A and B are shown apart, each in its own frame.
Chain A
Amino acid sequence: MEEEQPEFIQFTPNVFSRIAPDIYLERNLKEGIRPNLRKYEEFRSVQVNNKGFGRYDESNPTKSSVLGSSVVKVGKTTVICAITGGIVSDDDILDQATTSSNPFATVYPLVEIARGRSGACTDEEMIIAQKLYETLKSSGIIRKSALKIRYGYKHRTSDDKVEVIFPRNGPQTDGTNDDNDQVMADGNTAETIPFEDKQYSFVLYANLQVFSRTGPPFDICWTALIKALKNTKLPYTFLDEDTTSSRTVKSRSGANATIERSQLICDPVLNYPIKLEEKKIGYSSTFGLVTIPDGEKSQEILLADIEGESEESASTSLVHVVVAGDKLTSLTIHGGSKAGGNGSRITKDFIKKSIDLAHQRSLHLSSI
């Protein structure tokens, strides 16, 4: 009987990259080009839109509670970041970040990666949010003093007009604690205002939406967060005192009780930009390292800004750097030549090369 010859199975690139991502990547790299048609050390193009949808945005003032926003598009992926805020008393203990002696503040991020269905958040979303939180805290971009509130007062003048007095030097603190003495009425009146001991601070929340994820989204999320913080404007706040008298009904003497209530109100128009430590602002890059067999020996290739399923699953060795100026803020290396995939040994040369490229990328990102 004649034996049947097995047929060759042919796949389209999409299917092939799913079934055997490592071989797919290897075949592409042997041609000298990546599956996404970029060069090895080429990053994706970036578009940043700083014209936001914030409450104090000059072009489009809204009544929303968004204080700062940004839209960042890298390759096919879009990240929308909105910064909102809240006010807490400094006596409240939110978490360790607020109580420790660390002079730097951070934001509380929430990351959502659109994946066409709803449900509980994934591990990746949680990890990115936590990484954003930790990296911002350790980078020292926001000082706690930048979020301190120096509030004004609303009061009634002698001719029965209601006016709001703000601290003379503006609502932003310079980190010193002599704020209370500086406060005087901003008009002709020079009366001193009794300041309450209670101190308040802003807390910032960041809501990040990732659309069409094509690779590890941390870099884009970090860029979006920084760009949004850069145009974040904090409101002027003032203390509105409200005094009401009420009569207790059931008491025999019918005693009067005066209830004083004060609340912090955010001005709908007046605002000031948040003070960031400009020198410490840096941007993040991710590099994958793959080994492809090349005859007898193998060739090691550094891929910048990894994208696509094949690159992501095949390059198990990763170098992830956040660079600010000539310093590094954060660096994570995942070695994994033995972890499966095409990962390779991390050498010092690769680390140095990654840092160099990250510097260039950071310079480019800070210019746009």
Chain B
Amino acid sequence: MVLPEYQTSLLNKVDGSSTISIGEVKVICSVTGPIEAKPRQELPTQCAIEVNIRPEVGVGSTREKNMEDKLRVVLNGTINKFQYPRQLIQVHLHIISKSQATENNLKDLHACINGAYLALIDANISLLSSFLSTYAVINDDRLIFNPTSEQIQSSISHHLVCFDIKSGRADELLFVDSVGEFTEGELMTVLDQSIEEIESMNKIVRKTITEKVSRDYIWKY
């Protein structure tokens, strides 16, 4: 298992931030909120969530819009929205370096989801559960997690799976995006293996989060 490299609290003008590197993909994420919502965004009983993804060069295109939409699905299911009625939570992501494999943008999205999770924790936003994602490809009938660009390019199917985590166990399926050519059986194998992958990833991420929190609240303990 290749662990992503990550770091939190690197931006000081926002409420929470993180940077994450998975292979060649690097994403920087900031969370601002809860803040006052614009009148058209305001929801009476819950908070609005604004997701912005910027590409490494230039302004966002339809590619980023599609990624934002997918990330919003994950955030909608995990942010405790009823905690912040009539307010707004802004999640900004900037892709510093994108995947070299041009087949699809799942690897970038994988980094965005995990980056957003860390930034939300850093911003002390109330979450209903933890969540992590995995990216796997099927290459020569083998399932490979965290593939390299070469492996991505020669693979016939690609799967991004995101589970929420309760008490260290992958609990509910939050988001799946699979493309390429695959069978139902292969999909089920991917889902089963992803649970194990996410649970082992969570053990390590959780440890660093615990360290981070005890460091941040040094005067309380």
Asked if A336 and B178 make an inter-chain contact with CB atoms under 8 angstroms apart, the answer reads: no
Asked if B184 and A135 make an inter-chain contact with CB atoms under 8 angstroms apart, the answer reads: no
B153, B176, B191: most-surrounded residue (chain A CB, <10 A): B176
Asked if A327 and B183 make an inter-chain contact with CB atoms under 8 angstroms apart, the answer reads: yes
Quick check: which of B8-16, B62-70, B204-212 contacts chain A, the rest being far away? B62-70
Nearest chain A CB to B10 CB, angstrom units: 30
A214 on the B face (CB < 8 A): no
A213 on the B face (CB < 8 A): no
Within 8 A of B (CB), among A117-172: 123, 126-127, 129-131, 133-135, 138-140
A127, A327, A335, A337: most-surrounded residue (chain B CB, <10 A): A335
Asked if B76 and A339 make an inter-chain contact with CB atoms under 8 angstroms apart, the answer reads: yes
What range describes how many residues of B lie at the interface? Answer: 20 to 34
Asked if A97 and B173 make an inter-chain contact with CB atoms under 8 angstroms apart, the answer reads: no
Asked if A101 and B187 make an inter-chain contact with CB atoms under 8 angstroms apart, the answer reads: no
> A352–B185 Cα gap in the complex (Å)?
10
List A contacts of B153 (CB < 8 A): 101-102
Asked if B66 and A330 make an inter-chain contact with CB atoms under 8 angstroms apart, the answer reads: no
List B contacts of A134 (CB < 8 A): 66, 104, 179
Asked if A340 and B175 make an inter-chain contact with CB atoms under 8 angstroms apart, the answer reads: no
A316, A324, A333: most-surrounded residue (chain B CB, <10 A): A333
Other-chain residue from B46, B102, B172 in contact with A335 (beta carbon distance below 8 A): B172
List A contacts of B85 (CB < 8 A): none
B35 on the A face (CB < 8 A): no
Asked if B73 and A334 make an inter-chain contact with CB atoms under 8 angstroms apart, the answer reads: yes
Asked if A339 and B179 make an inter-chain contact with CB atoms under 8 angstroms apart, the answer reads: no
Write out, one digit per residue, whether chain A residues 304-331 have a CB within 8 A of any chain B CB (1) or not (0): 0000000000001000000010111111
Contacts A97-B102, A352-B184 given; indicate if A130 touches B178 (C-beta within 8 A).
Answer: no
Q: Which 5 A-B pairs have the closest CB atoms?
A: A333-B176, A130-B62, A96-B102, A130-B66, A138-B179
Contacts A316-B77, A336-B76, A348-B191 aside, 12 further interface pairs with beta carbons under 8 A come to A131-B66, A133-B62, A134-B104, A280-B181, A324-B181, A327-B181, A332-B176, A333-B177, A335-B172, A336-B73, A338-B128, A351-B184
